[in-house]
Amino acid sequence: MVGRPDRRRFLRNLGSFGVALAVTGWPALRARGAPAPSAVPLREGLVQIEGAGGNVVALETSEGVVLVDSGAPEHAEALAKLVAETFAAPVELLFNTHWHLAHTGGNDLFGRAGATIVAHENTRLWMTTEFYVEWEDRTYPKRRPQAQPTRTFRSHEPQPIEIELGGRRMVYAHLKEAHTDGDIFVQFPELNVVVAGGVLSVGRYPVIDYITGGWIGGMIDATERLLALCDDETLIVPESGPAQRRTHLVAQRDMLTTVRERIEELAVQGKSPAEMHEAGITRDFDAAWGGDALAFLRNAYESMWWTGGRLRGIVA
Boundaries of domain holding 242: 7-306
Whether 125 is in a domain gets the answer yes
* CA 85, 106, 168, 186 torsion-angle sign: positive
Residues 86 and 82: their CA atoms lie apart, in Å, by 6
pLDDT attached to residue 157: 53
Whether 316 is in a domain gets the answer no
The percent of residues in the chain predicted with pLDDT above 90, rounded, is: 82
pLDDT at 264 over 90: yes
Nearest partner of 207 among 288, 302, 123, judged by Cα: 302
Q: What is the DSSP letter of 316?
A: -
Residues 7 and 78: their CA atoms lie apart, in Å, by 14
Number of domains in the chain: 1
Q: Is 310 exposed, middle or buried (0-12, 13-18, 19+ CB in 10 A)?
A: middle
Whether 63 is in a domain gets the answer yes
Whether 312 is in a domain gets the answer no
Q: What CATH number does residue 136 fall under?
A: 3.60.15.10
pLDDT at 152 over 90: yes
Whether 314 is in a domain gets the answer no
Whether 81 is in a domain gets the answer yes
pLDDT for 89-144, tens place per residue? 999 999 999 999 999 999 999 999 999 999 999 999 999 999 999 999 999 999 99
pLDDT for 162-184, tens place per residue? 999 999 999 999 999 999 999 99
Whether 159 is in a domain gets the answer yes
Task: Report the relative pairing of strands 116-120 and 151-153 from DSSP bridges.
Answer: parallel
pLDDT for 211-243, tens place per residue? 999 999 999 999 999 999 999 999 999 999 999
pLDDT at 256 over 50: yes
Q: Is 57 helix (H, G, I), strand (E, B) or coil?
A: strand
Residue 18: count of CB within 10 angstroms of its CB: 18
Whether 220 is in a domain gets the answer yes
